[in-house]
Structure 1
Amino acid sequence: MNDLSEVYRSFETGIRSAKAIKPKEYLKSIGLDYSELRIGFNSGQFHHGRKKEIKDHYEKLGLLTKSEAGVNNEGLTAYTVFGRYGLIFPLVNKENEIVNYFALRFDLETPKEEFLNSEGIYPIYPNLLTKRLYLAPTVIDCASLMQSKVLENRDAVIALHNGKLMPQHEEAIKSLSELEEIILINR
């Protein structure tokens, strides 16, 4: 059954699409490069043409919510899509499996940032031999730091969940046997 990793592959394809002009322009404006970082684009259509059981599964994952909006064809269900027309960043568990998404819906009057759930770490769990760990307040701050190429050997960076230290962050930090320094980045 389609899981978050499989759906994310469609988002990675989406950002590379010739039609994804606005997402690419927005990324360029904030100094991020989708060819160097794991960034996808959710056009909001990943569920189109899928069987009902797949849509039900997406609903259980939190990617779709049934909507009261009207549809053109009788018998079809309208859905609200998580992170619709947004940049998608994957969060992973210890096994490096995608367990969550961070969405930046950049094309709204006021851009909106949201997490699918409260699991996972962006970009990955730090290497156990990490000596210096940066804690970035947001996924975008974390991606910007990675893009800057200032991290040295045995440095790592992880994003907090909207500035909050979650249990998975604490667990990851406690597992770092060589850790010498934690640097908290403030906005």
Structure 2
Amino acid sequence: MRSPSSVLAAPRIGRGWYLAAVLSAVLALGMCLLGWRQTQLADQIGAHPVRVEGVVTQLPGGSATYSGVRYQADGQQHSATDLALPAQAKVGDPICLEHAATDPGAVRVCDQHYPQAAGVRLAQISVPVALLVCLLCALRITRHRRSLGARIRQARVVTTVALATEALAEGMPAITQGKRSRRRRKGGRRALR
């Protein structure tokens, strides 16, 4: 019979599963907010678009730099970053932009739907992946907790059986020591009638 301590020595689930579940949920939420914000800006610009001409001030180069565009709206200078510029754009080239009539800061390149289409594509890809990772982590954690609960129940049964066997052994030494027990009656054998 296994001892209760060997039953309770269940493998522990690593903290990485909990951390991965939380981080993937946060990533999914963040990407949903990014996609929602881009959609909101696209709707705001699409409701009352105002066309202006901007100038390319910076081209994307690597992972740390974004495109930059400067434009004038309502008599003020504005700048926008990370817009989807045409492939042949150069620094100093004029570029057609549309901004929202109510918010000159909400701007996109003409003939584009979203201000930052890369952010929307990133959200469309990363949200399902993050939700899938979160679901897998949650299933693994739930499975571990159920298995741990079953082990604890099994340990209780083993402990109960061990205690019952010990109590039985103390009360009946003849069985545990391998000797036969005979009861003798007072008065000897009875005579057959």
TM-score interval, smaller chain: under 0.3
Give TM-score scaled by structure 2 length. 0.20
Larger Rg: 1 or 2? 2
Give me the TM-score of the superposition, normalised by structure 1: 0.20
Q: Which has the higher contact order (CA 8 A, sep 6+)?
A: 2
